[in-house]
Amino acid sequence: MLVLRTHYINFYTVDSINLTSKAKISILKYYLFLFVSGLLFSCTTEIEQDYFDTTSYYYPYHKLGSPKVYEYQIEHNGAQFVSHYWEFQTIEEAGNVYLLCKRYNPQFEIDQSVKELILEEGVVTTAYDFHVKDTNTQELVIYPNRVSQNIVFPFKASLDTIMAYRFVCEMKLPPDFLNAKLVRDRKFGQPLKYQLFGDTIEAVSFINTDLYDIQNVEEGGYWTVKKGLIEIYAKGIGLVYQEERTAGQEGVEITKLTAIYTEKEFEKLKKNGNNG
């Protein structure tokens, strides 16, 4: 919305200031210049935006031609341990930019993978798969999930508190492959500051509501589980903090970014971990 301020200017007559006609014209030009300048200034500085630009707060896909691996640790009941690793790499296909994401468990085994399409408006999940080891062959088997959404992470996040970005996923949860459905509503929170690796950096928060319907094989129907999440995304880095609460349960589960590795560093970490 464009907001213009009205400027009131008093013009004096020649008789009142007793100036020549040439001087009078100069003064009129001067005030006219002030008036026009004021309008232009108002036009350029008082533009109200109904969104917050979060493009630079997502994972830096434009710098991920070579993979980077993020280590996340979890804090629960006073204990802290490695929860998982996410590997990110950007590729181009048919003129489109995609962010490939692989999740490793603490034993460095892939258990999830995600493919995200990067658009001007934000991020769209095009694939979300589970990777499960076959008990007989010990090989990883990929089980695709069915996803649907418009924008899962917006680059122009609406400041409307009612506006939510919905992600829907229908899946079979391992190891028993129960039918389940996740509906996630993500809302923009606020800009803030966050301490990471000894530095204070700009960040934004999102407030999520997760609703799970999970198959109840014993009694029939579905269990319903509701979770509330707070996410913090740091500028130039991506997700650095997540706080999760489950309805009907006490306590909070906190996940934090604790390290970022190059591909070579992560391979060394895996080698040392498997040898240990």
Instruction: Assess whether 41 and 106 both reside in one domain.
Output: no
Please give the Cα distance from 122 to 155 (Å, whole number). Answer: 5
Domain that holds residue 60: 53-275
Query: Does residue 39 sit in the same domain as residue 148?
Result: no
Residues 26 and 130 both lie in one domain: no
Q: Do 97 and 22 share a domain, yes or no?
A: no
15/101 same-domain check: no
Q: How many domains does the chain have?
A: 2
pLDDT in 10s for each residue of the chain, 276 residues: 333 333 333 333 334 434 444 444 444 444 434 343 443 333 433 335 899 999 999 999 999 999 999 999 998 778 899 999 999 999 999 999 999 999 999 999 999 999 999 999 999 999 999 999 888 888 888 999 999 878 999 999 999 989 999 999 999 877 777 899 999 999 999 999 999 999 999 999 999 999 999 998 888 889 899 999 999 999 999 999 999 999 999 889 999 999 999 999 999 999 987 765
- Both 26 and 40 in one domain: the answer is yes
Statement to judge: residues 211 and 244 lie in one domain: yes
d(CA 66, CA 54): 23
Last residue of a domain, one of 48, 71, 86: 48
Start-to-end C-alpha separation, the chain: 61
Q: Are residues 260 and 126 in the same domain?
A: yes
- Residue 84, amino acid: H
CA distance 212 to 251: 19
pTM of the predicted protein model: 0.80
**175 prior amide bond cis, ω within 30:** yes
Is residue 147 located within the same domain as residue 81?
yes
